[in-house]
Amino acid sequence: MHHDDMLDATGLTCPMPLLKMKLQLKALSPDQILHVIATDSGSWKDFHKFAEITNNELLKAEEVDGQYQYWIKKGTQ
């Protein structure tokens, strides 16, 4: 999937993947897409909840062999 920026959060434990994603997302312009790769299983719940309570859209989330990948579209503020 197309993305404008990428964050490799492999090896980081909760809450670091979410915190780093929020910081990197803040630097993007509205409608740009951030691709995040994480290995912390807690990120699955965190990223879905983040998209529910913010103006950002989780376009796709998948888990393959213990690796979690997310594509998040920055919302307009």
Residue of 5, 10, 14, 32 with catalytic role: 14
Q: Is 30 designated active site?
A: no
CA atoms of 49 and 57, how far apart (whole Å): 11
Distance CA 40, CA 55 (A): 24
User: Which residues carry out catalysis?
Assistant: 14
